[in-house]
Amino acid sequence: MAIALVVWVVPGWGGASESTVAPSAIGLGTVLTAEEIERYAITVFPDGRGLPPGRGTVEQGARLYRVQCAACHGAQGIEGPASRLVGTDGFIGWSDPLRPLRVRKYPLQVFSVGAMWPHATTLFDYVRRGMPMHAPKSLTDEEVYAVTGYVLHLNGLVGSQAVIDRDTLPRVVMPGLARTVSAWPAER
């Protein structure tokens, strides 16, 4: 007489072989190609790592600013309604004795790029990722260099003939750097 052995395997009921088998694809997520990862790996670090090739001038930036930025930040970068781009430190400044009067008119003055941002490279990163607000990431790297240069010029941080690129941008010293504690580990 033969004895038949029948084993019923129920998924999820603890068979040893189930735990060692890699789960099959269930259709969630997508494996990205190297080119797709490259498209999203655009972080620019404070020391300039990650800055792309290209360059832009303050003059080119002025033209782009009028078309892409002025509607939100104002013709001079101080009017708003979006965040103020141009300004100096604090509520009262020796170089600007009428500042308290202007703060009343433009309340976002204290938080300007020129007063608060510690690294010019961060300005580039922000503009490239999020500006213009109506079409983020639509500017070319050259256009971002140009607009960054123009905003730095409006803040008196670079001259009107400045050319901004991956070599010159990290060398711009921002007024906010002195008030900043870096969270980045020092280079070894």
85-102 mean pLDDT? 65
27-42 mean pLDDT? 85
pLDDT band at 138 (very low <50, low <70, confident <90, very high): very high
43-51 mean pLDDT? 94
DSSP 171: G
Whole-angstrom CA distances from 101 to 78, 98, 104, 111, 112 are 14, 6, 5, 16, 16
pLDDT score at 167: 97
Is 180 within 8 Å of 118 (Cβ atoms)? yes
Question: Distance (Å, rounded) from C-alpha 143 to C-alpha 65?
Answer: 10
Q: Which two tokens stand for residue 125?
A: 């990163």
pLDDT beyond 90 at 28: no
100-129 mean pLDDT? 79
Is 145 within 8 Å of 59 (Cβ atoms)? no
Q: Average pLDDT, whole number, for the chain?
A: 81
Within 10 A of 169 (CB to CB), how many other CB atoms are there?
Answer: 24
71-100 mean pLDDT? 74
pLDDT score at 5: 39
pLDDT band at 21 (very low <50, low <70, confident <90, very high): low
Question: Distance (Å, rounded) from C-alpha 28 to C-alpha 37?
Answer: 18
| pTM for the whole structure | 0.72
Start-to-end C-alpha separation, the chain: 78
Question: Distance (Å, rounded) from C-alpha 24 to C-alpha 67?
Answer: 51
pLDDT band at 4 (very low <50, low <70, confident <90, very high): very low
Within 10 A of 23 (CB to CB), how many other CB atoms are there?
Answer: 6
Q: Which of 69, 182, 52, 22 is nearest to 118 (CA)?
A: 182
